[in-house]
Amino acid sequence: MKTASPTLALLDRALVVPALRDAFKKLDPRVQWRNPVMFVVYVGSILTTFLWVHALQAPADVASAPWFVLSVAVWLWFTVLFANFAEALAEGRSKAQAASLKGLKKSTWAKKLKYPVHGAEWTPEQAENLRRGDVVLVDAQDLIPLDGEVIEGVASVDESAITGESAPVVRESGGDFSSVTGGTRVLSDWLVVRITVNPGESFLDRMIGMVEGAKRSKTPNEIALTILLVALTIVFLGVTATLLPYSIFSVQAAGAGTVVSLTALVALLVCLIPTTIGGLLSAVGVAGMSRMMQANVIATSGRAVEAAGDVDVLLLDKTGTITHGNRQAASFTAAPGLTERAVAATAALASAADETPEGRSIVALAARLGFSAPAAPAGSQAVPFTAQTRMSGMDLAATASDPARTLRKGAVEAVRRHVEAIGGHLPVELTRAADEISRRGGTPLAVADGATVVGIVELKDIVKAGIQERFGELRRMGIQTVMITGDNQLTAAAIAAEAGVDDFLAEATPEDKLALIRRYQSEGRLVAMTGDGTNDAPALAQADVAVAMNSGTQAAKEAGNMVDLDSNPTKLLEIVETGKALLMTRGSLTTFSIANDVAKYFAIIPAIFVSTYPQLGALDVMRLGSPSSAILSAVIFNALIIVVLIPLALQGVAYRAVGAAALLRRNLALYGLGGLIVPFIGIKAIDLLLVACGLV
* Residue 629: CA count within 13 A, CB half-sphere: 20
DSSP 643-696: HHHHHHHHH-PPP-S--HHHHHHHHIIIIIHHHHHHHHHHHHHHHHHHHHTT--
Task: Report the distance separating Cα 277 and Cα 64, nearest Å.
Answer: 30
Cβ 118 vs Cβ 139: under 8 Å: no
565 three-class SS? coil
DSSP 497-550: HHHT-SEEE-S--HHHHHHHHHHHHHTT--EEEEE-SGGGHHHHHHSSEEEEET
Q: How far apart are the first and last CA of the chain?
A: 51
Task: Report the distance separating Cα 219 and Cα 363, nearest Å.
Answer: 53
Phi, psi of 303 (to 5 degrees): -60, -40
Tell me the angle at which helices 467-476 and 489-499 cross, rounded to the nearest 10 degrees: 80
CA 545 to chain centre: 10
- 310 in active site: no
Q: Are strands 527-531 and 443-449 parallel, antiparallel or unpaired?
A: unpaired
CA 303 to chain centre: 11
Helices (H), 255-301: 262-272, 275-294
For residue 483, which of 496, 465, 472, 470 has the smallest C-alpha distance?
496
The active-site residue, picked from 142, 147, 317, 487, is 317
Question: Which residues, 6+ apart, have CB-to-CB distance to 408 below 8 Å?
Answer: 350, 383, 391, 392, 393, 415, 418, 447, 448
Beta strands in 166-215 (DSSP E): 169-172, 179-180, 185-186, 190-195
Phi, psi of 371 (to 5 degrees): -115, 45
Query: What letter does residue 618 receive in the DSSP assignment?
Result: G
**Which helix (H) or strand (E) element contains residue 135?**
strand 135-139
Q: Which amino acid makes up residue 342?
A: A
Beta strands in 300-371 (DSSP E): 313-317, 328-334
CB atoms within 10 A of CB 342: 18
In angstroms, the Cα distances linking 279 to 297, 356, 589 are 27, 57, 10
Tell me the angle at which helices 13-25 and 66-102 cross, rounded to the nearest 10 degrees: 120
Beta bridge partners of 394: 382, 407
Burial 350-373 (b: 16+ CB within 10 A, else e): bbbbbebbbbbbbbebbeeeebeb
Beta bridge partners of 484: 317, 505
Known catalytic residues? 317
